[in-house]
Amino acid sequence: MSGAVLAAKDISVGYGKKAVVSGLSFEVSTGEILTLIGPNGAGKSTILRSTAAQLPLLSGTVTLAGRDMKEMNVHETARKLSVCFTERITAERMNCYDLVATGRYPYTGRLGVLSQEDRRIVQEAMELTGITYLAGTDIRCISDGQRQTAMLARAIAQEPEVLILDEPTSFLDISNKLRLLTLLRELVRSRGIAVVQSLHELDLAQRFSDKIVCIRDHKADRTGTPEEIFAGDYISTLYGMNAGVFLPDFGTAEAQRITGEPEVFVIGGGGSGIATYRRLQRQGIPFAAGVIHENDMEYPVARSLASVLVAEKAFEPISDVSTEGALEVMKKCGKVICCTDGFGTMNAGNRRLLEEAQKMGKL
């Protein structure tokens, strides 16, 4: 299959006449996951609701399987597109089987009685998502993770071509987040579904998306693959982060650097210093770090947390210049912490730093 199953072309979305996001275009093909990211209130949910034809478009068109959605009636749309939203289901005395079975709504007759085929599909959706054991349980008596999974099963039972999910993982713990997204990933492949979702968890967006659309300042700020989006300082800019920075390699945020004259010198390397950097930051102590290679895994952390960082070029042994520089900084610090005990050719300079520190009695 090729070509976009869902395509938004130059759409403006919003409530009433006021556009929340305008000039937005995106496409998603079968087997692809497209994720919207962006700050709170940027309009991600509004985009999703408008794409699902629950809010009228202010301008532009959304085509579903090649047809303008404005020209499709609700029944046609219901058979091609299903949704999972954030609002909690408050229905009383409804068990999970019945919940999943509501997905068959567009296919059943006047009274909504399930056929043999409908029942098979419901069963299958529950098996795929691993919630068969919950069939007879009241939906008010299951955990948030189970409920989200049941809602996903419901959406699957609707046999859509496009699945729209608004923050499907927001109430879940990390294990359930991973489980749900892994499941989604598999479903998208095995069933040929296209997914449009919004996520707040950037690390997960980075790992589970084929395309990412960044919403900021009423428009699609950037659109691209995770590799393109999670490059450089872009994410920090996107979210206007001023209390810390985002480390795109790890997909995590690092807290705000403590600036000022360094009081502690940390000798790290190979990731050994990360915990110490974070502890010093937490305690509000400005520190210096060195000598760290630019390709060291702890380099991004040190760069964002240390008030002074002495770095060395990647793949080069620590030069005398760097060592001298680090020594200068170390002399001004009251205390030295050495986190590493592995020294070799590349970081021989750091061994010298440790020896000097011992001589100074700063350890």
Q: For residue 171, state whether it binds another protein (rule: CB under 8 A).
A: no
Q: Does 250 bind another protein (CB under 8 A)?
A: no
Residue 34, token pair as written in the block: 């497209």
Q: Which residues of 63-90 are buried (b: 16+ CB within 10 A; e: fewer)?
A: bbbeeebeebeeeebbbbbbbbbeeeee
Whichever of 51 and 223 has its CB closer to another protein, that residue is: 51
Restricted to residues 100-119, the positions that interact with another protein (CB under 8 A) are 102-103, 105-106, 108, 110-113, 119
Cβ–Cβ < 8 Å for 70, 61: yes
Neighbours of 54 (CB within 10 A): 12
Q: Rule CB under 8 A: choose which of 135, 178, 253, 346 binds another protein.
A: 135
| Pure H helices in 239-282 | 274-282
DSSP-derived letter for residue 139 is G
Rounded to a whole number of angstroms, the distance between the first and last alpha carbons of the chain is 64
Our finding on whether 16 is near another protein (CB under 8 A) is no
What gap in Å lies between CA 322 and CA 139, rounded to an integer?
A: 62
> Among 13, 33, 126, 142, which residue sits at the site for another protein (rule: CB under 8 A)?
142
Q: What b/e sequence results for 282-296 when a residue is b if at least 16 CB atoms lie within 10 Å of its CB, and e otherwise?
A: eeeebbbbbbbbeeb
Query: Binding of another protein at residue 137 (CB under 8 A)?
Result: no
C-beta of residue 189 within 8 angstroms of C-beta of residue 29: no
**120, containing H or E segment:** helix 116-128
The Cα–Cα gap between 307 and 51 comes to 46
Shortest distance, CB of residue 113 to another protein, whole angstroms?
7
Residue 231 found at the interface with another protein (CB under 8 A): no
Among 136, 232, 334, 361, binds another protein (CB under 8 A): 136
List binders of another protein among 268-327 (CB under 8 A).
none
- Which one, 135 or 354, has the nearer CB to another protein? 135
Q: How many residues bind another protein (CB under 8 A)?
A: 39
- Least distance to another protein from the beta carbon of 89, Å? 6
Runs of H (alpha helix) within 138-233: 144-157, 174-191, 202-208, 226-229
Burial of 114 (0-12, 13-18, 19+ CB in 10 A): middle
What's the min distance (Å) between Cβ of 106 and another protein? 5
Calpha distance 301→212 (Å, rounded): 25
**CB 143 to another protein: min, Å:** 8
Per-residue x/- track, 39-78, another protein (CB under 8 A): ----------x--x-x-------------------xx-xx
Q: How far is the CB of 103 from another protein (least distance, A)?
A: 8
Q: How far apart are CA 215 and CA 223, in angstroms?
A: 9
Q: What are the C-alpha distances in Å from 45 to residues 54, 65, 85, 125, 226? A: 11, 22, 9, 26, 20
Part in contact with another protein (CB under 8 A); list of ranges 131-139, 243-251, 253-261, 347-355: 131-139
Identity of the residue, 99 or 339, whose beta carbon is nearer to another protein in the bound complex = 99
Q: Which of residues 79-98 bind another protein (CB under 8 A)?
A: 81-83, 85, 87, 89-95, 97-98
C-beta closer to another protein: residue 138 or 210? 138
Nearest distance from C-beta of residue 153 to another protein, angstroms: 13
- If the CB atoms of residues 18 and 93 are measured against another protein, the closer one turns out to be 93
Residues in contact with another protein by CB under 8 A are 49, 52, 54, 74-75, 77-78, 81-83, 85, 87, 89-95, 97-99, 102-103, 105-106, 108, 110-113, 119, 135-136, 138, 140-142, 158
